[in-house]
């Protein structure tokens, strides 16, 4: 295929009665070198959640160079901009996340991160170990294309660059929920929101998604068991919170297997931290348990919360102990709109040049779900390793060795462009 120079391409597009997937493809190829350059800058200059100051400034500068008018400072460091199409039509949105992780990079890339940051009071390495650098670059590439085509665009596109997807620091608010709280969808809510994530075990360059529940909710719990301290040789003189905590851990595991309808949706309760005691022959007076809850069904999620507290308190009471129960609600489950999913299958398959990859629900979480709670939304995975490489054998998201095959970012740019175009044009029919 002969590639047109970008100025000639844009003249060609404006002469079309209606832009299409072929136009998006040609423009995505033209902008790919710039997308790679953007990605590498973001990768080399990562910032932790709610600290994406330079990242937000760079995004705002790029959008300004496109002729757009970015709005900065939403949810502390977030950036938005609006592409006004030349024809009347609905409002849709593209979302990309901005934050990096407290991970020290080990990829050996020429543009590897050497950044440092503060996390939980300690100095840590900072790395885009989850692929957010590519998400920003691909969204910017799609923004460039759609803005260049805006004269023929039947509607408007809200660009959302969101901080703190990985979660704000302890004691702070952030992420999608704070953007919405600060008026992201005011005065108008988009009719559809599109998001994209690299990795998650999908073959290279291909897309995977599903209708309905796609990613789990994520809630944190802590149980503090209060007993009565005594000598380890005379346990009858006290109340043993360690034995009680052990029974609580096992009791919690029977909730999913014995109290919930396992045919309706999967769920997970995992204890990730147990802390208590200081000496081998001293039974302590307290033990802390901390863990995570994952669910796909909102009603089942609430049922799990109730059952967990009841189980912990009942076991403690049976042993003469007491508990403090703490529940911190996190992201709701990501639930893709079924009609939007069906509408976007041709757009995604065209972008990849191959059929969608079947996807089982994923027990990881994403705060893209906050947008899906407000309006029809679609979240999509893009395989990030080279073609022919088994993704299950490669470093996963959040690994210090995580990387992406940069040519696939062109597929991501095309996917964003195709989905926006498909929705806006369908609204005209």
Domains, the chain, in order of start with CATH, read 6-216+333-426 (3.40.630.10), 220-328 (3.30.70.360)
> Smallest Cα–Cα separation from 305: which of 250, 275, 274, 260?
260
Stretches where the chain sits below pLDDT 70 are 1-17
Quick one: tokens of 60?
Answer: 């705002």
Q: What CA–CA distance (Å, rounded) separates 273 from 223?
A: 10
Instruction: Give the model's pLDDT for residue 10.
Output: 46
> Smallest Cα–Cα separation from 249: which of 288, 306, 295?
288
Exposure b/e, 340-364, CB count within 10 A at least 16 = b: bbebbeebbbbbbeeebeebebbbe
Q: What CA–CA distance (Å, rounded) separates 369 from 337?
A: 11
> How buried is residue 421: exposed, middle or buried, by Cβ count under 10 Å (0-12/13-18/19+)?
buried
pTM, two decimals, is 0.92
Q: What CA–CA distance (Å, rounded) separates 319 from 145?
A: 65
Instruction: Give the model's pLDDT for residue 429.
Output: 78
Instruction: Give the model's pLDDT for residue 17.
Output: 58
Rg (CA), the chain: 24
> How buried is residue 266: exposed, middle or buried, by Cβ count under 10 Å (0-12/13-18/19+)?
middle
Q: What residues contact 109, with CB distance under 8 A and at least 6 apart?
A: 43, 403
HSE-CB for 385 with a 13 A CA cutoff: 17
Instruction: Give the model's pLDDT for residue 5.
Output: 46
Q: What CA–CA distance (Å, rounded) separates 13 from 17?
A: 9
How big is the CA angle at 194 (ends 6 and 63), to the nearest 5 degrees?
45
298 CB neighbour count, 10 Å cutoff: 15
Instruction: Give the model's pLDDT for residue 8.
Output: 43
Quick one: tokens of 248?
Answer: 């609580």
In tens, the pLDDT along 371-390 reads 999 999 999 999 999 998 99
Q: What CA–CA distance (Å, rounded) separates 319 from 243?
A: 9
Instruction: Give the model's pLDDT for residue 85.
Output: 98
């Amino acid at each position: 295929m002969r590639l047109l120079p970008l100025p000639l391409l844009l003249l060609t597009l404006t002469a079309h009665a209606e832009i299409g997937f072929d136009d998006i493809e040609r423009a995505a190829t033209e902008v790919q070198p710039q997308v790679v350059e953007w990605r590498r800058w973001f990768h080399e200059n990562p910032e932790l959640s709610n600290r994406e100051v330079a990242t937000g400034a760079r995004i705002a500068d790029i959008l300004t160079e496109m002729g757009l008018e970015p709005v900065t400072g939403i949810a502390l460091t977030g950036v938005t901009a609006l592409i006004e199409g030349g024809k009347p039509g609905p409002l849709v949105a593209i979302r990309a996340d901005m934050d990096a992780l407290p991970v020290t990079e080990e990829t050996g890339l020429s543009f590897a991160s050497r950044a440092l940051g503060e996390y939980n009071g300690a100095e840590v390495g900072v790395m885009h170990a989850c692929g957010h650098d590519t998400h920003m670059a691909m969204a910017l590439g799609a923004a460039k294309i759609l803005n260049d085509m805006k004269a023929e665009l039947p509607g408007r596109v809200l660009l959302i660059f969101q901080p703190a997807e990985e979660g704000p620091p302890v004691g702070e608010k952030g992420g999608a929920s704070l953007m919405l709280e600060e008026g992201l969808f005011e005065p108008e809510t988009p009719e559809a929101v599109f998001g994209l994530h690299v990795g998650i075990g999908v073959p290279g360059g291909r897309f995977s998604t599903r209708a309905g529940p796609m990613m789990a909710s994520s809630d944190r719990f802590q149980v503090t068991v209060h007993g009565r301290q005594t000598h380890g040789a005379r346990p009858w003189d006290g109340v043993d919170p360690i034995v009680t905590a052990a029974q609580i851990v096992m009791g919690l595991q029977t909730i999913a297997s014995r109290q919930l309808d396992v045919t309706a949706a999967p769920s997970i309760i995992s204890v990730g931290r147990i802390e208590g005691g200081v000496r081998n022959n001293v039974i302590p007076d307290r033990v802390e348990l901390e863990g995570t809850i994952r669910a796909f069904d909102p009603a089942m999620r609430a049922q799990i919360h109730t059952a967990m507290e009841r189980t912990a308190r009942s076991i403690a009471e049976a042993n003469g102990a007491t508990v403090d129960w703490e529940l911190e609600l996190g992201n709701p489950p990501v639930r893709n709109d079924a009609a939007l999913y069906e509408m976007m299958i041709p757009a995604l398959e065209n972008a990849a040049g191959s059929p969608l990859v079947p996807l089982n629900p994923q027990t990881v979480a994403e705060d893209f779900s906050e947008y899906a709670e407000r309006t029809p939304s679609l979240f999509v995975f893009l395989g990030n390793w080279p073609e022919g490489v088994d993704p299950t054998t490669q470093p996963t998201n959040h690994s210090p060795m995580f990387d992406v095959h940069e040519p696939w970012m062109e597929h991501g740019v095309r996917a964003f462009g195709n989905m926006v175009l498909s929705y806006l044009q369908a609204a005209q029919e």
